[in-house]
Structure 1
Amino acid sequence: MRSRSLVSSFLFLGLTFAPTPAAAGEDAVEGRHQQVDALFAPWSGKNAPGCAVGISRDGVLDYARGYGMSNLEYDVPITPQSIFHIASISKQFTAFSIGLLAQEGKLSLDDDVRKYLPEMPAYGKTITLAHLLHHTNGLREQGQLLNLAGWRGDDLYTEADILWALTRQRGVNFEPGTEVVYGNAAYTLLAVVVRRVSGKSLRAFADERIFKPLGMTDTHFRDDHTEVVPRRASAYSPREGGGWRISVPNIDHYGSTSLLTTVGDLLKWEQNLLDGRVGGQALVASLQTSGRLNDGTATGYGSGLRLTGHRGLRMVSHDGMDGGYRADALLFPDQRLAIVALCNGATIVPTDLTRKVAEMYLGAHMKNEIPPAVKLSKAELSALAGTYWSPQTDEVVRLEVKDGALRQVDVPTAFVPIGNGTFRPGETTHVWRFSAPAAGAPRGLSIQDFWPTTREFTRVTAPMPAAPALASFAGQYRSDELETTYTVRIADGKLAIRWSRRDEVVLDAVGGDRFVGSLGTVTFTRTAAGAIDGLTISNRRLRRLRAERLVAASVTPVRPVDAFTPH
């Protein structure tokens, strides 16, 4: 058998190695490993980041290898022992910690979050710990709040910063329990709950109750971004013009993110989701039980775990994305197969890679669930192009026909027609369904993705504002919730918005008083008399954050962009 980079057995306490198979079986195993190597070959060079992959079957390590570079500055290769920041995969460990405290009777999942965080606002409807665990809480997204308050992507984000933003919010995205929208704020709050209930930080609690008992010796929650961590992989994003730039998140908060680990340690955890060696079967089963909306609808998400299957097989999984780090961990409980891919390049998509690895192992048991494509003419596609707005979420979706396919503007994925006005994005099973225009009503669009909450859109028919009318939107707008003033001005014939010495965001008109930019949808509001009195900012995880207009005049003098002091 050829040589390969397998993790030493002492790193896999709790996992075992299979006995040497017979020649035919050995050839089959070797063939699968060669397939895995070929899949990761594009990321195996010495001038780019890459991935570590680990695969176990029924607690037996099948394969582990590193591809590409852990550190491009010092020519350090990735190995199975490399330590990665795994972003949102961290959530299941926070949820498990909450579950351990619930087992001991120290809290209940039905408790109001304000029992432990009395500084959180009362919104008129109780937000419970279960709402936090299942993403049915309605809280606005923490990172986007800080961004809109002036934090830059490379700034330090702390737990105190997040609590400052969340405790100032006067509204939520939706009534708790009525929808499910994935977000990070809930799990940051759950980490605080662990500390206030147990008297220990989440890092210390998880070390004592989860990681040490499972032999996860290379795993911990990072609570200090300056901490030196041997064997930690750096992370990278592509640099304009070629090459790479360092993209390591500067964060001193955890619960929703910030777990550092290796593929070997994560495989030990995946095995615990099968055998419940720590926590017991009841607790690991509860993590893998779907949350439900108030009307009983299952969300497909447990406690930090996605529960949707893959090609007819039951699958438990979660991915992670932070800075240049990309990660995915999935488990097929019935086949007792676990696959982990931890990557350090922003252009790598480990969720695609892990599923292709799964197909190498379980393809004979899988079904093809992707609906076949049907043919539509360019005229039929063009009739669907345009701008759609959701009264529910205040999001805007812009569609165009490009390279013979319907696509979102500035998004490469093509929509594949599957019949009856229905499309799927790429090779997914998500559904975008168009309705025909009714008498006096524009065309509609329904989007059904991973989550059971369907988002409803209607085609925008309001006329574009004429160039002279743009001046009426210029001025300053104040959000007391974020203690931030937004300056709107005309730049090169378009509106632009700037705040807290940030770079300006250009706003594209989509009709009427509504505009879109990289921060989401900006909608200007008017008084009954028609005067502009404010604006709202919305995106997928943050709805209708309001800023009041400070000056009633139609034009407010604004300094030129280059006159602002650099940040």
Structure 2
Amino acid sequence: MSHLAARIVIGLSLLTCISGCQPSSNSTVPDDAVAKQTTEFDKLFAQFDDINKPGASVAVLQDGEVVFSKGYGSANLEYDIPVTPDTMFHVASVSKQFTVFAILLLAEESKLNFDDDIRQYIPEVPDFGETITLRHLASHTSGMRDQWNLLRMAGWRLDDVITTEHVLKMVAKQKELNFKPGEEFLYSNTGFTLLAEVVARVSGKSFAKFTQERLFTPLNMSNSLFYDDHQKIVSNRAYSYEPIDNGYQKSVLNYANVGATSLFTTAEDLLKWSENFTEPTVGSPSIIKQMNTLATLNNGDTFGGAYGQFISHYNGIKYIQHSGGDAGFRSYLARFPEQNLAIAILNNGADGRPWELALQIAERFLESNTPPPQNAIADAFMESMSPKQTPSAFDLSKNKLSADILNAYVGHYWNEPDAYSREIYLDKGRLMYSRGKNDVSPLAAVNENTFKMLNVEGEIFVEFTEDGEQSSMTVRVDNMDTYVSVAYMPIEVTESWLSQFAGSYYSPELSSTYHFSPDNDQLKISHYRLSDHHIAPVKGDFFRSQVGDILFERDDSGAVNGFRISNGRVRNLYFRKR
């Protein structure tokens, strides 16, 4: 429904209707109440309400009515074009739910099955010795390495023109998965690019054309399209920016691939999409149910992810959401199904945090005294914005330990399962827990060998133990997760020692070569498309670099013959020494 036809609703509704929206003729809401609520929302978005800054578009749907819709700030800083409710934004990963819906439409027509092997439709996907299903791809449980991480490691810039063909060619060269399908959840954009390609091959139409005919047109989403051509002209589109010291600079996006990203739409069109989950015009109730169902791992566990969406809880209320971020675009769409509430916020500045604003808006609509479930799992974006919990106060004077005791714990500790190091050092008589650079937390003594970590979220305790000559450090988080690290002595780095790593290393999976050379007690990394940079060993053959964590491998004689690199969504990608 257009904001021009929206009416003021009461109850949990915002009682706000602006930017052309008028109360219905039979509305009993006083004008001053409308003005008050309008002012309240303008305050929420005041940071964007400047034609000299990137902007925001926000729209709120309550009980099938758009009760608020407005644009703030600039859609184009070079021409002072303001954001309006009709401004189209690139919404990045919010695209993913449309991709899954398209797959399920074809499944409902018996043109495919959600549990089919991806190689049935895209035989170029390598045979990894494991079946990867469309369901795995749609729930980030496939084990497929992420396309963006792979491209970065291969020397691509993310403002390069990146097409679906480029992604498919890189996928075809992969030799390993991150993990066995269904064993873990690990966010992977690759899966959704493959799903969009399945839609295109099964339907015989481009993904952009299929979604236009089957989704956008029937839902009257007249300001929506999948952008599969980086040269295509789109009217009323926003451009993206990122902050710099004296203002903003352009954040260029040239994607020409779809499925994982590249939906251009408006906040109001996203509300039309949301309403289809309440009263389906496109698709059946069974599709809606499937989309909203938590995915499961091979062991039956859930992880907060559904299909193209995440299921979260706020003040005990369930909501279904997804965020998006590419270049300077930031987007968020949240649906509170039991309250008939949906909120869409779109930004074109990299400093936007629409998920925070969406929950502030939700507070004005939702009423619940129900505590959140003990096992409710929020997605990473929500957890990252949780307020820091203040740790229980410790009277350090009552648990002051001698310098001899504290010095016994000083040193470096290595966690083998997750391949990271931590340093413990003394600062003004207090032990400090260092994760590297300026990421340090003080430790307060509970007893002679147990300490509480201060200035962190949750309850974290650090315990030091010694078994013969082997010292270890155990970190316990909220009495649930335990991480054990073993003390080690950092190697003495010399140019002679570094010379064993010198040489060129090639990855056939990336068609890319890295060069290493000793340089002032560090290794210099060179790549023809990346800036040179220096790295130092963390422990033995393990180094950290700008492109990922590097673990060199040796042959039976002890000579370095290759390395494996990991960077979050790509694990153990192999480079052999030439």
TM, length-normalised to structure 2: 0.82
CA distance in 2, matches of 1:455, 1:167: 38
Partner of 2:10: none
The alignment status of 1:117 with 2:113, answered yes or no, reads: no
Partner of 2:135: 130
Partner of 1:318: 322
CA distance in 2, matches of 1:424, 1:93: 43
Describe the shift of the 1:435–1:65 C-alpha distance in structure 2 as closer, same or farther (beyond 3 A).
farther
Partner of 1:86: 91
Say if 1:67 and 1:78, in contact at 8 Å, map to a contact too.
yes
CA distance in 1, matches of 2:199, 2:513: 35
Give the alignment of 1:88-107 within 5 angstroms.
88-107=93-112
The alignment status of 1:549 with 2:563, answered yes or no, reads: no
SS at match of 1:74: coil
CA distance in 2, matches of 1:421, 1:72: 51
Q: Deviations over 1:338-389 (max 9, x none)?
A: 1111000111111112112212322655758976532368999997997764
Amino acid at match of 1:124: G
SS at match of 1:354: helix
Describe the shift of the 1:476–1:398 C-alpha distance in structure 2 as closer, same or farther (beyond 3 A).
farther
SS at match of 1:293: coil
Partner of 1:391: 417
The alignment status of 1:283 with 2:287, answered yes or no, reads: yes
Say if 2:471 and 2:487, in contact at 8 Å, map to a contact too.
no
Cα shift at 1:526: 1.7
CA distance in 2, matches of 1:171, 1:38: 50
Cα shift at 1:36: 2.3
Amino acid at match of 2:558: G
The alignment status of 1:334 with 2:330, answered yes or no, reads: no
What is the number of residues matched between the two proteins?
531
Partner of 1:224: 229
SS at match of 1:140: coil
Say if 2:504 and 2:514, in contact at 8 Å, map to a contact too.
yes
Q: Deviations over 1:373-430 (max 9, x none)?
A: 32368999997997764625x567889999x99785468899999x998889977x8x
Identify unmatched segments of 5+ residues in structure 1.
1-5, 551-567
SS at match of 2:346: strand
Identify unmatched segments of 5+ residues in structure 2.
7-16, 375-385
The alignment status of 1:374 with 2:380, answered yes or no, reads: no
TM, length-normalised to structure 1: 0.84
CA distance in 2, matches of 1:335, 1:401: 53
Across the aligned residues of Structure 1 and Structure 2, the Cα RMSD in angstroms comes to 3.6
Amino acid at match of 1:357: I
The alignment status of 1:199 with 2:227, answered yes or no, reads: no
Q: 2:276 aligns with which of 269, 272, 278?
A: 272
SS at match of 1:334: helix
Amino acid at match of 2:473: R
Give the alignment of 1:106-505 within 5 angstroms.
106-239=111-244, 241-362=245-366, 365=369, 367=371, 373-375=391-393, 389=415, 391=417, 394=419, 409=436, 437=465, 439=467, 440=470, 442-444=472-474, 458=485, 461-468=488-495, 469-505=497-533
CA distance in 1, matches of 2:411, 2:48: 36
Partner of 2:565: 537
Amino acid at match of 2:391: A
Say if 2:130 and 2:180, in contact at 8 Å, map to a contact too.
yes
Partner of 1:565: none
CA distance in 1, matches of 2:410, 2:292: 39
CA distance in 1, matches of 2:534, 2:170: 25
Cα shift at 1:248: 2.7
Amino acid at match of 1:56: L
SS at match of 2:574: strand
Say if 2:411 and 2:487, in contact at 8 Å, map to a contact too.
no
CA distance in 2, matches of 1:437, 1:138: 36
SS at match of 2:141: coil
CA distance in 1, matches of 2:90, 2:460: 33
Describe the shift of the 1:122–1:150 C-alpha distance in structure 2 as closer, same or farther (beyond 3 A).
same
Q: Deviations over 1:177-229 (max 9, x none)?
A: 11110110000000110011111111111111111111100001000011111
- Is the radius of gyration larger for structure 1 or structure 2? 2
CA distance in 1, matches of 2:84, 2:46: 14
Say if 2:410 and 2:423, in contact at 8 Å, map to a contact too.
no
Cα shift at 1:154: 2.1
